[in-house]
Amino acid sequence: MKYLISKKTDEFFSGISDAFSFMSRFFKEVLKPPFEGNEIIRQCYDVGVKSLPLIAVTGLITGLVFTKQSRPSLSEFGATSWLPSLVGIAVIKSLAPLVTALICAGKVGSSIGAELGSMKVTEQIDAMDVSGVNAFKFLVVSRILATSLMLPLLMLFAAFVGLMGSFIDIHSNEQTSLLNFFQHAFEKITFLDFASTIFRSIVYGFTISVVGCYKGYTTTQGTQGVGKSANLAVVISMFLIFIEEMVIIQIVNWLR
């Protein structure tokens, strides 16, 4: 068999082309009935509610540790009163969306990749297709919608818990009230900051689920392939999240 450049390069580019076809199929299918409402709700529960404990712990620790790490530098200049504001900016603009996305890339992305991969190699996806069910709509569209919808909510929860973690530290050192803390934390947050954070979370959710579904849906080579799909779903979505973070921040700064 002849290759345009080399086997690996050809496979890389055809993989990208397939991934874009997969994504375009999602946009074609998402607006067509039937709308798998029950499955979307079930997926929202799996992605959202089942991720809450993990997001709560990591969010709390992130806020707490960030405050503890920032305190010595600020206290050198006698500026510990800026801590709530600094933490507010860091958590809402950067830490909450990134931490939520990375945790979900690991938890949700690998789960989607492994579940669909396992269904693929055991012919369950083919079984759905031959029984007249639109497997793509049922399995892929519902997961992408649910993850894109749940990520912003999980991010808001992570931001809240992260700020509470920070408040615990600040309150125990400076006896600041909760109201005062939150007033200062949101002092420097603009609507654009908030909107861009929500938008980024939707993009991260979309990325995690598209990559997970694509890798799962195209799994080959049996059980070994399932492990590979789950692993690649995490690695690729984490890589893309950082690229997207960089691009969106540039665009937001340009808009500002």
Partner 1 sequence: MKRTAGDIDTGFPVIEIKDLYKSFGDNHVLQGIDLSVCKGENVVVLGRSGTGKSVLIKIIAGLLKPDRGTVNVLGYDVPSLDEKQLRELRLKLGFSFQNSALYDSMTVRENLMFPLVRSSKNVSRMQVKEQIEKVLDAVGLLQAINQMPSELSGGQRKRVGVARTLIMQPQIMLYDEPTAGLDPITSTEINNLIVEVQQRFHTSSIIITHDLTCAKTTGDRVAMLLDGQFIKQGTFDAIFDAEDERIKSFYDYNFIQE
Which positions lie near partner 1, rule CB under 8 A? 1, 34, 118-119, 122-124, 126-134
Q: Minimum CB separation from partner 1 for residue 253, in Å?
A: 43
Q: With beta carbons less than 8 A apart as the criterion, state whether 58 and 105 touch.
A: no
CB of 131 or CB of 253, closer to partner 1: 131
Report d(CA 73, CA 111) in Å as an integer. Answer: 40
Distance of closest approach, residue 1 Cβ to partner 1, in angstroms:
6
CA–CA separation, 117 vs 230, rounded Å? 8
Tokens representing residue 102 in the block:
């990375």
d(CA 166, CA 28): 44
Task: Closer to partner 1 by CB, 124 or 180: give it.
Answer: 124
Closest CB to partner 1 among residues 128, 238: 128
Q: Is the peptide bond before 34 cis (omega within 30 degrees of 0)?
A: yes
Smallest gap, in angstroms, from Cβ of residue 229 to partner 1?
Answer: 17
Q: Closest CB to partner 1 among 124 and 173?
A: 124
Q: CB of 109 within 8 A of CB of 232?
A: no
CB of 22: closest distance to partner 1 in angstroms? 15
